[in-house]
Chain A
Amino acid sequence: MSWNIYLPIAGAGVNVFILLGLGGAVGFLSGLFGVGGGFLMTPLLMMIGIPPIVAAASDSNQIVAASASATYAHYRMGNVDFKMGFLLLIGGVVGGTLGVHLIAFLRALGNANFVIKITYVIMLGVVGFYMFMESLQNLRKTPVETKKVESGKSSFYARAVKALPWQMEFQKSGVFLSPILPLILGTFVGVLAAIMGVGGGFIMVPVMVYMLRMPMHVVVGTSLFQILFTCVNVTIMQSMTNHAVDITLAILLLLGSTVGAQFGARLSRRLKGDQLKIILASLVLVVMLQMLLGLVITPDVLLAHKGGH
């Protein structure tokens, strides 16, 4: 019996266990941190010979399964703030549309790729470094010290947030703020995600933690809920405009990722918020370093196929 499977849209034959393993590993990270994992999966699929545009589109398809699986698990654990998730989603859709137009404008100027790569490295670097240092500091403090520091904060940002109109309670997140804030932040993440060509989970998670002051466990569940809707939209759009979704590839990846996401979600419940943050920060920094090396080291081939993230 052959363990190879032919992927008709990708136009390549791949070993089934490689795809199940990749899906399982990335799904585990998705359930653990509340990220879609596109920033990891797409380059890995490209490394095994999947064309970039098919890798990106099919990855969005499998993220639908992984995020549905993980969102359900987090919902059962009471970790999904639907009200906050919808507001971020609306902002994300608006921001995504703005970002697509911004990219078109930058392409016309001829420096879109430079902006994309630099934005990627800077965003990953800033988010990863800040999250890593902050979590490290919190892990070194006693719980009493941490509470003291958190309650004592009243920065300009906190005062500005309180000054916004239509303040309302987000019960699941345990925060009281204006719906304008998640709408604005959702738009900001949507713009960045469109520029960088990713789902934006790894930007959304720090935004929810640091800007919306949501507890880490609710952040993970709510982020997954938002990613689910974003990827449903991307899958349908990619199918209709680029014919780039390979359902065979997506099914094999999701067989691994849905199970991986369950184990990730369970482990996330056992770890402390700061432990989760420090692991995610390390992962983000590793990806940033890998991208930075890609920018500095001369590539083997100076031509690449068009498409993908």
Chain B
Amino acid sequence: MRAIYVYLVVCAFAGSFLSGAAFAAETPADSGYLALTPRTINITKTFSGANVEVSADIPKGAGAVLELIGPTRDSHLLRQGRRAGLWMSVGEVTAHDAPSIYMVFTTPDVKSLETADSPSGYDALKQRVTFSGALPKNKADLLFGQFIKLKESEKLYGSFPGALETKSGAKHDSVHGALQLPSNVAPGSYDVTLMILQNGKGVERRSAELTIMMTGLPKILTNLAFNHAGLYGLMAVLVALIAGITVGLIFTGKGGAH
């Protein structure tokens, strides 16, 4: 009984880390063209994803395409293939210039994302992302499709046609959307762009910056892990050894182990 009590105290201590807001919402800063609420997201110890509200006025009868684009980076991947009837990794592939996150939303009336001056959507992304490494022979096109599938399974990519809500006003229409950011979104600066379309042609482009940053305990631990790796490793081992031996002592002290 004493062992269970002590364990609960340890858990309660760990639980005290969990109090606090998941993200600090800022007052919406309306650019006049494209409003994001919040504009800055703090990754704190209880962060589990965030919701960003987007709204803008658009001319009457116009359509809109909203994009969320993360910083580009190289992704190192393993390509799965069949050898002697068995599925396994058959080579390393690197995806270049792929945004860390990509989401595209449209108003219900937008039929095609390919406007003449600024194409968007997965087809446009396909033109920018390149692959190197163990590419499959004659099936390079399939690789991009699989890359999208992988990113969608991680909730980092998404295509949501018709998900931007349109409301009619006296002088203007307005569009509203919600960007659901998963908890695995990386810190950085993200571009949110709104392309206004009339008769299928892009007539105006507005953009805003969404900042995601680590604060508090996650920031301290990340700094330790990357800038003081040796100390961090020793700390990880010591914490584990102390926890293991303490629990061992608690349970042995109870008298049941011998």
> A-side interface residues toward B, CB under 8 Å?
1-6, 8-9, 11-14, 16, 20, 49, 61-62, 64-73, 76-77, 110, 113-114, 117-118, 232, 235-240, 243, 245, 247-248, 250-252, 254-255, 258-259, 261-262, 265-266, 294-306
Contact A254 B243 (CB under 8 A): yes
Q: Give B85-101 as 1s and 0s: 1 = Cβ < 8 Å from A's Cβ atoms.
A: 11111111100000000
Which of B83, B150, B236 counts the most chain A CB atoms within 10 A?
B236
Q: Taking the nearest CB of chain B, how far is it from the CB of A59, in angstroms?
A: 11
Which of B75, B92, B252 counts the most chain A CB atoms within 10 A?
B252
Cα-based distance from A183 to B237 in the complex (angstroms)? 26
Contact A301 B150 (CB under 8 A): yes
Cα-based distance from A3 to B20 in the complex (angstroms)? 11
Contact A251 B248 (CB under 8 A): no
A247: chain B residues within 8 A (beta carbon): 221, 225, 232, 235-236, 239
> B-side interface residues toward A, CB under 8 Å?
7, 10-11, 14-15, 17-19, 22, 43-49, 75-81, 83-93, 142-143, 146-147, 149-150, 153-154, 183-184, 186, 214, 217-219, 221-222, 225-226, 229-230, 232-237, 239-241, 243-245, 247-249, 251-252, 256-258
Chain A residue with minimal CB distance to B250?
Answer: A262
B76: chain A residues within 8 A (beta carbon): 305-306
Cα-based distance from A66 to B184 in the complex (angstroms)? 28
Query: How many residue pairs between the two chains, A and B, have CB atoms under 8 Å in the bound complex?
Result: 223
A-B contact pairs, 23 of them (CB 8 A): A1-B18, A6-B218, A8-B225, A12-B184, A13-B46, A13-B183, A61-B237, A65-B247, A69-B248, A73-B257, A113-B90, A239-B225, A247-B221, A248-B217, A251-B14, A252-B14, A255-B11, A258-B244, A258-B247, A296-B85, A297-B87, A303-B146, A305-B78
Chain B residue with minimal CB distance to A63?
Answer: B240
B89: chain A residues within 8 A (beta carbon): 113, 304
Given contacts A117-B86, A301-B150, contact A69 B81 (CB under 8 A): no
Q: Taking the nearest CB of chain B, how far is it from the CB of A239, in angstroms?
A: 3
Cα-based distance from A235 to B218 in the complex (angstroms)? 19
Given contacts A77-B258, A239-B225, A258-B247, contact A8 B77 (CB under 8 A): no
Contact B78 A245 (CB under 8 A): no
Contact A304 B232 (CB under 8 A): no
Of the residues A9, A240, A266, A300, contact of B221 by C-beta under 8 Å = A9
Q: Taking the nearest CB of chain B, how far is it from the CB of A65, in angstroms?
A: 4
Chain B residue with minimal CB distance to A297?
Answer: B87
A299: chain B residues within 8 A (beta carbon): 80, 87
B247: chain A residues within 8 A (beta carbon): 65, 69, 258-259, 261-262
A73: chain B residues within 8 A (beta carbon): 248, 251-252, 257
A237: chain B residues within 8 A (beta carbon): 233
Cα-based distance from A16 to B93 in the complex (angstroms)? 34
Given contacts A11-B186, A114-B88, A306-B77, contact A3 B257 (CB under 8 A): no
Contact A6 B237 (CB under 8 A): no
Contact B218 A8 (CB under 8 A): yes
Contact A301 B258 (CB under 8 A): no
B79: chain A residues within 8 A (beta carbon): 302-303
Q: Taking the nearest CB of chain B, how far is it from the CB of A162, in angstroms?
A: 35
A117: chain B residues within 8 A (beta carbon): 86, 88
Which of B149, B225, B243 counts the most chain A CB atoms within 10 A?
B243
A296: chain B residues within 8 A (beta carbon): 85-87
Given contacts A114-B83, A251-B14, contact A239 B229 (CB under 8 A): yes
Given contacts A262-B248, A296-B87, contact A2 B236 (CB under 8 A): no
Cα-based distance from A306 to B229 in the complex (angstroms)? 21
B143: chain A residues within 8 A (beta carbon): 303
